[in-house]
Amino acid sequence: MNNNRVYNFSSGPAMLPESVLQQAQAELMNWQGTGISMLELHHRSKEFIELSEKITEDFRELLAIPKNYKILFVPGGGRGQFAMVPLNLLGNKNKADYVITGLWSRIAEAEAERYAKINIVEDAKASNYTSIREASEWLIDPEAAFLHYADNETVDGLEFDYIPDTKGVPLVSDMSSNILTRRFDVSRFAVFYACAQKNMGPAGITVAVVHEDFLDRALAITPSIFNYKKHAESGSMQNTPPCFVWYMLGLVLDWVKEQGGVPEMEKRTARRSQQVYQCIDQSQLYVNPVNPRFRSRNNIVFDLRDTNLNERFINEAAARGLVSIKGHPQRGGMRVGIYNAMPDAGVNALVEFMKDFEKTA
């Protein structure tokens, strides 16, 4: 790794592969012989349209997305989807089911209340966000327009290890913080989405994958720029897209493919998260309260039993080039984001630091 860089454990925007940053730097002044920077290229140029189509197909290939799903690159971030999902999926129904496993799914639910009557089928607050009940125990409303859940909760460090069976209710998932870290059966979903800034690129673009059957249900009040169908019909170019961010996302997808695709990312994610959880579990100082089954592989939260040591822990970590490890203010403690682009060496350095710190604590 470049000597000037640190291991950045931010929950997002997060580290990008160094080779991607280098390529973007090398191509900045003149993208592929056009004499134009990607920061300047017209979005409706033949070159950009071809690039956007390539990126779409790369994403389809990486996650084995069937042809009857549209892959949309949309504005508004993850939060934009909190509104777009109900606006586009309610159709002639006025109720939806929500699963709450942490901060983000709670915010998604609050947004949906603006448009529909919401039935909370599971609230992990009951376990202080340490566990998730089986979907078979949820009181799913068979008449709900959809059921929404967050596959991985970035703040609370809680991740599903199964795809809920909703008994026919269309399933929607926020995969913002674990997309491209494991394979899954796409055909189980009506919609899944992820903002880019954790595992796919810089902030500024969000991928929404929508089954074709769900393109005709938008409420009349849906702003055009929030309408899935209009994005599908325009090749995600209703407005001027963030071309540079989209291009960067494409470079990250190329990198994922070169590394061995999603199966390789899945192996790395499992191995590296196990390494950190093992360090936590073997220590007298660190503690992670989450039921091991639902521990996030991407956002590892932990507390120091002696909270007086928090500040020293953060400062000493920073002195070793390990930054952004403070927990989200809503949860406190520590949190490390270990996304695809984090080098193994960063995880090794983190674990070594944690062990060394404990000896001196």
Ligand X SMILES: Cc1ncc(COP(=O)(O)O)c(C=O)c1O
How far is the CA of 294 from the CAs of 31, 35, 72, 128, in angstroms?
43, 50, 29, 13
Amino acid, res. 122: E
Question: Does 355 participate in catalysis according to the annotation?
Answer: no
| Residue count, binding to ligand X (CB under 6 A) | 12
Site string for ligand X, 135-164 (x = CB under 6 A): ---------------x---x----------
Cis bond upstream, residue 170 (ω within 30): no
Which one, 11 or 166, has the nearer CB to ligand X?
11
Which one, 62 or 103, has the nearer CB to ligand X?
103
Q: What is the CA radius of gyration of the chain?
A: 21
CA atoms of 245 and 71, how far apart (whole Å): 16
- Cβ-proximal residues to 345 (8 Å cutoff; 6+ apart), any chain: 1, 7
Interface with ligand X includes 303 (CB under 6 A)?
Answer: no
Question: Does 97 participate in catalysis according to the annotation?
Answer: no
Q: Which stretch binds ligand X (CB under 6 A): 17-25, 73-81, 159-167, 285-293?
A: 73-81
Q: Which stretch binds ligand X (CB under 6 A): 1-9, 74-82, 120-128, 342-350?
A: 74-82
CA atoms of 134 and 164, how far apart (whole Å): 8
Which one, 154 or 236, has the nearer CB to ligand X?
154
User: Which member of 31, 58, 70, 104 is catalytic?
Assistant: 104
User: How many other C-beta atoms lie within 10 A of the C-beta of residue 328?
Assistant: 17
Backbone angles phi, psi at 227, to 5 degrees: -95, 120
Closest contact distance (angstroms) between CB of 76 and ligand X is: 7
User: How many other C-beta atoms lie within 10 A of the C-beta of residue 320?
Assistant: 15
Interface with ligand X includes 56 (CB under 6 A)?
Answer: no
Among 97, 174, 266, 303, contact with ligand X (rule: CB under 6 A)? 174
Question: Does 198 participate in catalysis according to the annotation?
Answer: yes
Which one, 108 or 304, has the nearer CB to ligand X?
108
Closest contact distance (angstroms) between CB of 156 and ligand X is: 10
User: Which member of 198, 229, 246, 326 is catalytic?
Assistant: 198
**Of 185, 217, 199, which Cα lies nearest the Cα of 89?**
217
Interface with ligand X includes 78 (CB under 6 A)?
Answer: yes
Residues 9-38 that bind ligand X (CB under 6 A): 11-12
Which one, 295 or 304, has the nearer CB to ligand X?
295
**Of 118, 159, 121, which Cα lies nearest the Cα of 138?**
121
Closest contact distance (angstroms) between CB of 191 and ligand X is: 14
Backbone angles phi, psi at 287, to 5 degrees: -145, 135
- Cβ-proximal residues to 193 (8 Å cutoff; 6+ apart), any chain: 78, 81, 85, 172, 173, 174, 175, 176, 206, 207, 208, 209
Q: Which stretch binds ligand X (CB under 6 A): 61-69, 160-168, 170-178, 255-263?
A: 170-178
Among 52, 56, 173, 177, contact with ligand X (rule: CB under 6 A)? 177
Which one, 41 or 155, has the nearer CB to ligand X?
155
Amino acid, res. 65: I
Q: Which residues are catalytic?
A: 104, 174, 198
Q: What residue ranges bind ligand X (CB under 6 A)?
A: 11-12, 77-79, 104, 150, 154, 174, 176-177, 195
